[in-house]
Chain A
């Protein structure tokens, strides 16, 4: 196996033992990254020079043998909505084409503080609005398993780069499924932590009460390694939870014997893709084989989650994206007066999907409609949460499909927004309730496209998700398969 194809837990021992330097490792990854990038197009900005500087620093640290973690000297990718000091951060939008933040996001600081190496900023749907990364102003990231298919979204670049071995791991963000769905479509592991587990400071907001940063890894263990670094309280984020972070790697290795796994019938509707449904059911069987108890649970309000999401997320977004007005940073299109400058700037800076959601959200919050849409959605949000609370009285973890289908082709769902929105049908309720969710590869379609199993946990119980996924992964081979990087 070539160096760039390994996992973090495979290379970190060599780094620690000084059998391998971070500069060597970074060179291997960077060379491969650049070689396959014309095919995958996972990055908006590649930070080659900075990466080698960071790698050299990491090597110094490794030489001292002090403050070493599994991530020290390891190349990772960062979604281009996480602010990086001195490195432009575009959020996939023309609006921020030349925006260079004067500060780092907390998660970026955390990665840097353990000596991780950033290879670049990954492509994404504009302002994280999309499920295919097709709304990016910059490029269309390809699914490494079939270059004619989408990688999922919005963190498509972060998922594709890990799948294509362009980075060992990456950070993404998940507002309605934007980590889990691309993880499923690209055949890797992705974790959306509990709301409040990871600081949002420096994450360019889409929908503040739903956004959460999380890791992509080639396997569960690498995800756990990333989680260990990025989790924890941050005084800069008022919604960050001040509760201890467990030892994820230790927890992960525990057995699932006696673990209660809930299967919600609402997540297996009649029309569900057969291959997806069978793969997920098989995965559940595997957990059962390992001693987990399987229980049916009901989440009756969860089918309404997508409707709730398409009120709450655009509403918050309409306000979060109001600051892009051409005054202090970002694009400015001149105008005769301020109103004209605003309207022209925003018309030119945002793409159609972003505009659509801004208008939808503005409408839902506007005078006379607030109660009917926004308030109503907040109430149904509570009903959905109550369902989960009840289910988690009975079970420890809930298993569902991650996405309703394997990866689809470019353009297949761009015609009708609602069709695209349905991609998030199984993932959004987790954002609405703030619960943690993880996607782990659990199968392959006949067309050789990956399928993901979604595991949903109790609030702040990422450890159980990692444990369940790890137990499953150890018994299967899905995570070991490598994508072809071919068109099909």
Chain B
């Protein structure tokens, strides 16, 4: 699976990372190397192997539906880069 610069551009966009042409070229090279290394996994036959998502076998961890204190509005907004009347402000979406 050869990785192209177009792939890297697509991925950068998906990941919301602004990249220069220079970076695209560099990342394409580096990611291709890493992916090539990863390809060795294909040497293993995993046709009948179940994927392992969690290292440990735990299930059904639930909590009670009991109200816990929230932060104050001031605490919520304290790290906000731009806040306005109790909200986080963001630039226009479209």
Contacts and interface: CB of A to CB of B under 8 A. Distances in A.
B2 interface: no
Nearest to A344: B18
Contacts of A356: 27, 30-31
B77 to A, nearest CB: 9
Which of B53, B56, B75, B78 has most chain A Cβ within 10 Å?
B56
B67 interface: no
A359 B13 CA distance: 9
Given A311-B38, A346-B17, A417-B34, A102 B1 contact: no
Chain A: interface size category: 35 or more
Nearest to B19: A347
B82 to A, nearest CB: 7
B17 A343 contact: yes
Given A327-B88, A362-B15, A366-B14, A418 B34 contact: yes
A195 to B, nearest CB: 4
Interface string B54-91: 11101001010000000100010011111000001011
Nearest to B64: A235
Chain B: interface size category: 35 or more
Contacts of B11: 359, 362-363, 366
Given A308-B41, A326-B81, A347-B17, A241 B58 contact: yes
Which of B27, B41, B53 has most chain A Cβ within 10 Å?
B41
Contacts of A382: 49-52
Nearest to A335: B91
A100 B81 contact: no
A241 B61 CA distance: 10
15 contacts: A100-B78, A100-B79, A102-B71, A195-B55, A209-B54, A209-B55, A239-B61, A343-B17, A344-B18, A358-B15, A359-B8, A362-B11, A363-B3, A376-B42, A379-B46
